[in-house]
Structure 1
Amino acid sequence: LIYLRHHGLEPASPAAMAFAALERQIFKRLVNPAMYAAWGFGILLALTPGTISWSAPWWLVKLAAVLLLSWYHGVLSVWRRRLRDDARSAMSSLRQGVAIPIVLMVVIVTMVLVQP
């Protein structure tokens, strides 16, 4: 959502520079470590014997959702750099992109809890 506020500002304005710095800090201190931790703990859990029924399809759906969420992380990183360079650049997918992580997280949590 912070990208939506940054979008449309003058590139060299103090507000745009403040948003760029804030976005960088959020990625550096929160988003990147969270993704690395999620992948690390997920791999450790998958390697723990008996935690996953490998014949059940739920873990494939969860893995696909996690891969999509990681892809989305990369997309956000690209958007952050584009906004830093030109906050007025046309990125129509900003508004549609807000729902992507929510839907993926619902899928991931549902797959883990229900294990259909």
Structure 2
Amino acid sequence: MALLRGLQADGSNLIVDWVQKNKVQVMVVVGICTDVCVLDFVVTVLSARNHGILSPLEEVVVYSKACATYDLPVEVAKGIDGALAHPQDAAHYLGLYMAKSRGAVVADSITFPEANSHL
């Protein structure tokens, strides 16, 4: 969690400040590398929430249809020094699976209430 606390020279954190200022209760996460960037962000945010750093955040939702990852076939990986194959479909699924197993909600559809629905 040093990452969450140390992004600014004064010790503040843009994400923590944004969540608190806007009273974010549900965070929807999307991204282009489900099993790396999305998963790392989700796990970090869940950890911060669980440690009381991201109050009032209650839920972290990964919108699966707005996430993807890359494909690196075995044949291509063999030609790149130090590379490992990265099967796109399996890696995407595993990223979603791991996010859910850590406490995120994985959703294939999202609806937002109308802005003035409470009036």
Which TM-score applies when normalising by structure 2? 0.27
Question: If each structure's helix is expressed as a fraction of its own residues, which one has the higher value?
Answer: 1
- Asked which structure has the greater RCO (Cα within 8 Å, sep 6+), the reply is 1
Question: If each structure's strand is expressed as a fraction of its own residues, which one has the higher value?
Answer: 2
